Amino acid sequence: AQSVTQPDIHITVSEGASLELRCNYSYGATPYLFWYVQSPGQGLQLLLKYFSGDTLVQGIKGFEAEFKRSQSSFNLRKPSVHWSDAAEYFCAVGAPSMYSGGGADGLTFGKGTHLIIQP
Amino acid sequence: DAGVIQSPRHEVTEMGQEVTLRCKPISGHNSLFWYRQTMMRGLELLIYFNNNVPIDDSGMPEDRFSAKMPNASFSTLKIQPSEPRDSAVYFCASSQGSLNSYNEQFFGPGTRLTVL
């Protein structure tokens, strides 16, 4: 069974400082990895995804993530955070459906990291 | 595109009552997912459908929970009878996938359920 670990429950960063959110996964095959962001009272928005190819992926809002197979990690980074980045961040792993009907299997999420931005 | 639509956005009910949550996926998507979010357990997959067929309902907590997808544009999640521990935010998501590929899941705004 697949699993995702986000070791940091809360992270506080000063506005303008760099950010790295950690994510480790467990999966038996090539993982499909995602980072989602959730603002208070809102649904989840996809920041970026990794399927294959270049291990450094770029996403929206200036975020990037690097897939490291040897470390089973997919850490999210941003060089300079803005106050509007304060939110909950979720790492997730998924897989294509094994069923002939196509489609996708459900995602397994980490517990999330709550990002606080200090002025 | 209107995105994934969920209704109601908020639901407050009393223990023992039946609750029905509704979801309209993005047109053309062939996979639909129901997730539950709580402080204690985070985001959990409850059930998902491919081409309107339930594929994996192992995440459904109890027989009190049931889900249907009568057609490609509508799904319901029903709780009967409801209990206070069912209080959570329930998300619906949809995606367009195919064998050997994986497309992102688009999430609805969620339904916040409170069972008193």
Chain center to CA of B104: 17
Residue A30: pLDDT band with limits 50, 70, 90:
confident
Query: Which of chain B's residues have a Cβ under 8 Å away from the Cβ of A106?
Result: 33, 35, 45, 48, 56, 59
Can you name the residues that pair with A45 across neighbouring β-strands?
A37
Tell me what percent of the residues of chain A surpass a pLDDT of 90.
Answer: 74
Query: Which of chain A's residues have a Cβ under 8 Å away from the Cβ of B98?
Result: 96, 102-103
User: What sign has the CA pseudo-torsion A39, A43, A45, A51?
Assistant: positive
Res A9 pLDDT > 80: yes
Residues contacting residue B94 through CB under 8 Å, at least 6 positions apart: B4, B25, B26, B29, B31, B32, B33, B105, B106
- Residue tagged 């799904």 (tokens): B75
Count other Cβ atoms within 10 Å, centred on residue A115.
21
Res B111 pLDDT > 70: yes
Can you tell me the distance from the alpha carbon of B69 to that of A10, in angstroms, rounded to the nearest whole number? 38
Interface test with A, best of B30, B35, B40, B43 (most A CBs within 10 A): B43
Instruction: Give the pLDDT of residue A103.
Output: 56
How much is the average pLDDT of A29-33? 82
Instruction: Give the pLDDT of residue A97.
Output: 63
Please write the tens of the pLDDT for every residue from A57-104.
999 999 999 999 999 999 999 999 999 999 999 999 987 666 545 556
Res A109 pLDDT > 90: yes
Please write the tens of the pLDDT for every residue from B19-74.
999 999 999 998 899 999 999 999 999 999 988 999 888 899 889 999 999 999 99
The SS3 assignment for B37 reads strand
Res A17 pLDDT > 90: yes
How much is the average pLDDT of B84-90? 96
Instruction: Give the pLDDT of residue B1.
Output: 65
Q: State whether A103 and B50 contact (CB < 8 Å).
A: yes
